[in-house]
Amino acid sequence: MAFDAAKAARFRRLAKLVRLKIPKSASLLDFGCGDGAFLRELNNPLAKGFEIGAPGRFRVGPSEVITGDWASIAGTEDLPGGAFDVVTAFDVLEHLPRIDEDVALVRSLLKPSGLFFASVPNVESLIARIMGGRWNMILLEHLWYFSPRTLDTFLARHGFRRVAMQTIPFDAPLAHLATRVAQTFGMRGAFIPRGAAKWVVPVPAGIMLGTYRAV
C-alpha cells in the first residue's frame, strides 16, 4: 500500500506539471506507460498509453492502453503518425536497447510543434556527484545515462528542441528510503518512529524532466 501511495504521489505531480504546459484539448500518448499510473492521475479521455508486451488492450479510467511491439504498432491506425499533440516518456529512455529507432518513432507520432516530456536520471545532478558510484540510479537495467547537455544533443538528432528542464523528486515510502540508505552505506538499519514507515517523502534522487518541442 505504501508503494502504491508513493507511485500515485509521483504521477500526480507529473500530471500537474504536464497540465500546466498543454491545452485541455491536447491529445496525448504516454509511451512506456506501465500499468497506466500516469494516465490514472491525468484522467483525460484524450490520452492513450502504450506498453511493450503481448498484444492487447486495457483501460485505465477514460484512457485506452495498447500493448504489443512498439515498432509494429507506431504509425498504424491504433497510433497514427502525426496524431498526437503530446508524448510523454517517464523513466523510459534509459531502458531502451533500440533508443534511436524508438525515439524516431515517437517523433513520427507527434504533430508539428508537438511536445515531448521525458524524465531520466541526471548524471550531473548534485546527488549523483556526491554519491559517485553509490548513486542509486546506477542500475543494471539502465542502458543509457544523460546529462542535460547530452539529452539535448541526442533529442536534437531526432528533431526536438528543448523548451524547459527541471529537477523532480522521486516519491518513496520512508521505510524504503531508510532501507536503501542502510544498504548504500553498509548500515544495520535506521530507526523510524512508529507509524512513520508508510509516510511518502519526495526524495532528491537526481532525476530531470525535460520538455521538448518537435521542430
Q: Which residues of the chain have pLDDT under 50?
A: none
**How high is the pLDDT of residue 40?**
97
Would you say 28 and 48 are in contact if contact means Cβ atoms under 8 Å apart?
Answer: yes
pLDDT at 185: 61
The pLDDT value given to residue 173: 75
Say what the pTM is. 0.91
What pLDDT, on the 0 to 100 scale, is given for residue 123?
98
Residue whose C-alpha cell is 523548451: 163
Task: Give the chain's domains with CATH numbers.
Answer: 2-172+205-214 (3.40.50.150)
Give DSSP secondary structure letters for 180-203: HHHHHHT-S-----TT-TT-EEEE
Q: What is the pLDDT of residue 3?
A: 75
Task: Provide CB contacts within 8 A for 87, sequence distance 6+.
Answer: 28, 29, 30, 31, 106, 109, 110, 114, 115, 116, 117
Torsion of CA 195, 201, 204, 206, to 10 degrees: 110
